[in-house]
Amino acid sequence: MTIRATVWGENVHETSNQIVSEIYPEGMHAQIAKQLAVDKNIVARTATLQQPEHGLTHEVLAETDVLLWWGHAAHGEVADEIVERVTNRVWQGMGLIVLHSGHFSKIFKRLMGTPCALKWREAGERERIFVVNPGHAIAAGLPEYFELENEEMYGEPFSVPEPMETVFISWFQGGEVFRSGLTYRRGRGNIFYFQPGHETYPTYYDETIGKVLRNAVNWAFNPQAVSSDPSDAPNVPVEEALEAIEERGPKLHKKGEKGLR
Amino acid sequence: MTIRATVWGENVHETSNQIVSEIYPEGMHAQIAKQLAVDKNIVARTATLQQPEHGLTHEVLAETDVLLWWGHAAHGEVADEIVERVTNRVWQGMGLIVLHSGHFSKIFKRLMGTPCALKWREAGERERIFVVNPGHAIAAGLPEYFELENEEMYGEPFSVPEPMETVFISWFQGGEVFRSGLTYRRGRGNIFYFQPGHETYPTYYDETIGKVLRNAVNWAFNPQAVSSDPSDAPNVPVEEALEAIEERGPKLHKKGEKGLR
Amino acid sequence: MTIRATVWGENVHETSNQIVSEIYPEGMHAQIAKQLAVDKNIVARTATLQQPEHGLTHEVLAETDVLLWWGHAAHGEVADEIVERVTNRVWQGMGLIVLHSGHFSKIFKRLMGTPCALKWREAGERERIFVVNPGHAIAAGLPEYFELENEEMYGEPFSVPEPMETVFISWFQGGEVFRSGLTYRRGRGNIFYFQPGHETYPTYYDETIGKVLRNAVNWAFNPQAVSSDPSDAPNVPVEEALEAIEERGPKLHKKGEKGLR
Amino acid sequence: MTIRATVWGENVHETSNQIVSEIYPEGMHAQIAKQLAVDKNIVARTATLQQPEHGLTHEVLAETDVLLWWGHAAHGEVADEIVERVTNRVWQGMGLIVLHSGHFSKIFKRLMGTPCALKWREAGERERIFVVNPGHAIAAGLPEYFELENEEMYGEPFSVPEPMETVFISWFQGGEVFRSGLTYRRGRGNIFYFQPGHETYPTYYDETIGKVLRNAVNWAFNPQAVSSDPSDAPNVPVEEALEAIEERGPKLHKKGEKGLR
């Protein structure tokens, strides 16, 4: 079955910063989409901040199985309404892969319920990414570790909830460590945070990084996604109770009344 | 060491609904606070929606080790600013105990990152609460199960994240089950959701319920709470790297520049 | 890709107890294998206690992607050597589905590290199985709940480790609850415990039960299974360190010496 | 309340290896016990492999709230009977702190159900231990990280189950990372694995290491420990069912018969 991925890119530094525009002349989102397309099972499109509704219309999201998110300079410009729309779609079962500086995106903080803060240093140092869960689908076909000669250091403590599973932990040349691959589930949506991807380095051209992204899309895809309202809280009338019971005691709600929110 | 608890009560049905006002003439929050006071280690105060800043000023929160939250009819009237303030305090280490219909409170949904929806039926049916984790501190001194002759049915699926630990699961007379005691950690804050407590029944007068509440306050108390900003994401300058490194590659940030958010 | 399942049956009560032999004349394992065969993606064979090496030779296990385990009367007759062999295969990535009274099997207790005890009552009462994690692959295509008119009651506390995810919780007519579907990972092996399946009832003829079993086999299958030794603890010589270091301080081990176990 | 700790030491290299005996002339267990005694709330005794029943008689274990375990050269000499005895006590609620090379001890492997393997290098390299969960009781009073100038490298993948919480992650000079502080619960027993402590270095004289050990003992202590049999699986007779039911269907067990194991 084909997996429909949408790569969301903030697309700010690509047009405003010469270094970034030289590395990613078509935008980081375009390069990430190219990496995904190596997997014949994935069809990838892109969306950016500058498009109407940030390119994340109801239609686009309805046709998206897995959303990838890269943002950094303009987290605050993402409309709250779109954040809620994406949140709802994750709860319905759309996968979400949050990349690098996306740790501070509205959507990631919204779904984690924590600050998602960390330490950082932009010094082009060496990062070595270790697979700590070699049987995990996101680690399929990877070596025991792989290296990026230049990456931004992200250091612990990373204030996220304890993950469902820790897939990667990174060693940094300057002396820090970081949990660089973490999985979560929120509603029906599978979520993966993946640390590498600073915009001044060619990280998304790296072959192993591409493999991780493709694995992650395959892992995050949930064929059981639904389109119903995840926040629905249905009343079960006494007459329809699974076991016969008689109503007892005082009541707040009249018959057929909706619940309070 | 004394634990400073604040019981937050919405205090709406107690003044607008005759049934509720007869059961809880001083408000549900007052009765919950009385239950806590049985433990000489706990000092409990109350706060309500109607007070300035809902009674949750910076000063009150700074002096609160564990906050208990009961709300139902007026979730929407809680100011977003106060929700963010409480969220920040939980991240700093304040414990949070969310009661019954508080599953749909802004603060619980904010910290869970999920819909927190469920099924419900107000029929005064019997609920039997099983201890599934008998070694947990919240289950201290409890029997293997205990009963409430009249409670509101809450039924699965309960759309919350997989908990750190499941402490209680409830059996309902009408045929449903519910995970009625769940623990989470968000930042330094310990969170406990506890299902019983519908306002038309005298649940908070029950002795075993009182014991659970006292246990939960003791468990949620974190002596390592801090007052610093949990969202701080400090830059580590190259000169202060833990291992000597030389800066390499192109940079986005100027020296000493703050990180993007 | 075809998934190779092996259904292991103790096959004792089927030949010694008239009730059981009438329900399952070919053995419970045969009926479970028939349920799996409904999925054209699964090829199921069977193995029983009475066969040489309990039917679980090195060859059989090497060709097994997912093992299903039903035992009750003869847990003690399973040879420890075979238990270790199966354990090792799970660590290598073979999936394991433990059924009903298999909670007390040597293999399940070996992998959980806990007593795996519970309460029980054989009274043919009604069991209602609720899906608490509707987005989970094991719940694919299931209704919100399903019923078995006659099952053995298993009651909490179930002394297993906190699961990776809780998929099912059961309501019993006699008043108990039970976590009836739990997932774990041990090494590369995905493990699912599923509670229904008492031998005096026709549970494995039930269509929904069959669907759960097929879903579970698909979920437990790990394409990243390996045949290497999961207990290998390799020394990394100083000359091969990932970063150049000089050996310092006193040493216990001579160069090239194997580690202690 | 006083916590009764027992420090179990293998006590082999202390008497057979000159380097180790010079660093720990009274045995590593004695030095660990001295570190614990800094906390006036802890009373620490020691036990060693060479004592009758390895010093872990029923009486000693009954009087032990938290057991610390250091072993390396002689894991295989620990009697299986004693391992089962300790396992049972952990299930009853005794805390267990497993140190360094104890990752391959029978008791740790028994409770984890996994290989507990890792990579290693004895080169006296620098280890930097990061607190990734600063609100955890085991991290109380610790700085953001601390260093050991000489330690044995332990590297990922560490084949243990996904922990309840990850408290520490270590950076090694030679380029590896390791999850050096992990928590688990098995039955009522709290378990903490802590990586530092190679016998050829003076790790257990380090003040911060001492603080971690004392914190861990306080965390692992469970006042709800019991002396009953954790493997008991009681039958609930139909007459004593929590809700009135009538026995239905065929039965395997006669009335009052014990369950099968």
Tokens (6 digits) for A127: 């990062």
Q: How far apart are CA B29 and CA B6, in angstroms?
A: 9
Beta A145-155 vs A119-131: how paired, if at all?
A: antiparallel
Sign for the pseudo-dihedral over CA of A149, A153, A158, A160: negative
Kindly indicate the confidence band of residue B254, based on its pLDDT and cuts at 50, 70 and 90. confident
> Which distant-in-sequence residues (6+ apart) come within 8 Å of A166 by Cβ?
A132, A133, A179, A181, A182, D162, D166, D179
C-alpha span between B259 and C13 (Å, rounded): 68
Residues 6+ apart with CB under 8 A from A13: A20, A21, A72, A73, A199, B252
Main-chain phi, psi angles of D92, to 5 degrees = -75, -15
Which pTM was predicted?
0.97
pLDDT band at B256, cuts 50/70/90?
confident
pLDDT one-digit tens code per residue, B197-232: 999 999 999 999 999 999 999 999 999 999 999 999
Mean pLDDT for the stretch of residues C107-134: 98
Give A184's contacts (C-beta < 8 A, 6+ positions apart): A111, A112, A161, A163, A164, A190, A191, A192, A193, B161
Helix, strand, coil distribution of chain A in percent, nearest 5? 30, 30, 40
Average pLDDT over residues A139-154: 98
Contacts of C163 in chain D (CB under 8 A): none
- Helix, strand, coil in percent for chain B, rounding step 5: 30, 30, 40
Phi-psi sector, A68: left (phi>0), alpha (psi -120 to 50), beta:
beta
Interface test with B, best of C146, C153, C167, C169 (most B CBs within 10 A): C169
Q: Which fold has domain B3-115+180-220?
A: Rossmann fold (3.40.50)
Q: By the 8 A CB rule, do A50 and A15 touch?
A: no
Q: What is the ipTM of this complex?
A: 0.96
Reduced to 3 states, what is the DSSP secondary structure of residue A31? helix
Are the Cβ atoms of B157 and C134 closer than 8 angstroms? yes
CB contact under 8 A, D224 and B134: yes
Q: What percent of chain B has pLDDT over 70?
A: 100
Instruction: Say what the pLDDT of residue B255 is.
Output: 79
Q: What is the pLDDT of residue C254?
A: 82
Which chain C residues have a beta carbon less than 8 Å from that of A186? none
Which residues from chain D sit within 8 angstroms of residue B140, using beta carbons? 223-224
D3-113+181-220, which class in CATH?
A: alpha beta
Name the residue ranges covered by the structural domains of chain D: 3-113+181-220
The answer to whether the CB atoms of B241 and A111 lie below 8 A apart is no
Assigned CATH class of A3-114+181-220: alpha beta
pLDDT at B174: 97
Residue A85 has pLDDT above 90, yes or no: yes
| Chain centroid offset of residue C128 CA | 22
Contact B158 C132 (CB under 8 A): yes
Q: Do residues C156 and B130 touch, judged by C-beta distance below 8 A?
A: yes
Instruction: Say yes or no to pLDDT of D257 above 90.
Output: no
Give the whole-angstrom CA distance, residue D248 versus residue C127: 13
| pLDDT at site C170 | 98
- Cα–Cα distance, D132 to D139 (Å, whole number): 9
pLDDT(B55) > 90: yes
- Which residues of chain A have a Cβ shorter than 8 Å from any chain D Cβ? 128, 130-134, 144, 155-158, 162, 164-166, 169-172, 175-177, 179
pLDDT for D99-121, tens place per residue? 999 999 999 999 999 999 999 99
The string over A39-49, giving b where at least 16 C-beta atoms fall within 10 Å of a residue's C-beta and e elsewhere, is beebbbebbbb
Give the closest residue to B139 by CA, choosing from B117, B170, B168, B113: B168
Do D140 and B223 make contact, defined as CB atoms within 8 angstroms? yes
Give the pair of three-digit tokens for residue A259.
């619940």
Q: Are C70 and C9 in contact (CB under 8 A)?
A: yes
Q: Which tokens belong to C189? A: 């092996």
pLDDT digits (tens, 9 = 90+) for D22-55: 999 999 999 999 999 999 999 999 999 999 999 9
Summarize pLDDT for B93-120 with one digit per residue, the tens: 999 999 999 999 999 999 999 999 999 9
Nearest to C172 by CA among B212, B119, D230, B130: B130
pLDDT of residue D171: 98
Domain covering C3-116+182-220: architecture: 3-Layer(aba) Sandwich (3.40)
Lowest mean pLDDT, pick from C32-36, C245-249, D151-155: C245-249
Mark yes or no for CB contact A137/C224 under 8 Å. Answer: yes
pLDDT score of A254 more than 90: no
Beta carbons of C185 and A137 less than 8 Å apart: no
> Could you report the per-residue pLDDT of A165-224, keeping only the tens digit for each?
999 999 999 999 999 999 999 999 999 999 999 999 999 999 999 999 999 999 999 999
% of chain D surpassing 90 pLDDT: 95
Q: Calculate the average pLDDT of chain D.
A: 97
Kindly identify which residue of chain B lies nearest to residue A184, measuring between CA atoms. Answer: B161
Mean pLDDT of all residues belonging to chain A = 97
Give the whole-number percent of chain B exceeding pLDDT 90: 95
Q: How many CA atoms lie within 13 A of D174 on its CB side?
A: 27
pLDDT 10s digits, C43-61: 999 999 999 999 999 999 9
The residue of chain A with its CA nearest to that of B120 is A235
pLDDT in tens, D125-152: 999 999 999 999 999 999 999 999 999 9
pLDDT digits (tens, 9 = 90+) for C159-176: 999 999 999 999 999 999
For the ranges C81-85, D16-20, D186-190, the lowest mean pLDDT is seen at D16-20
Please give the pLDDT value at position C257.
Answer: 80
Cα–Cα dist C101/B181, whole Å = 27
Question: From residue B56, how far is each of B67, B80, C139 by CA, in Å?
Answer: 10, 12, 42
Element (H, E) at B62: helix B58-62
Give the Cα-Cα-Cα angle D16, D18, D19 (nearest 5 degrees): 120
Predicted pLDDT at C105: 98
Question: What is the model's pLDDT at position C92?
Answer: 98
- Pairing mode, if any, of strands B119-131 and B165-172? antiparallel
Which of C146, C171, C172 is the mutation pick for testing B, counting most B CBs within 10 A? C171
Distances from the Cα of D181 to the Cαs of A130, D100, D133, D157, D158, in angstroms?
17, 10, 10, 14, 12
Quote the distance between the C-alpha of residue A153 and its chain's center. Answer: 20
- Asked whether the beta carbons of A69 and A97 are under 8 A apart, the reply is yes
* D interface with A, Cβ–Cβ below 8 Å: 128, 130-134, 144, 155-158, 162, 164-166, 169-172, 175-177, 179
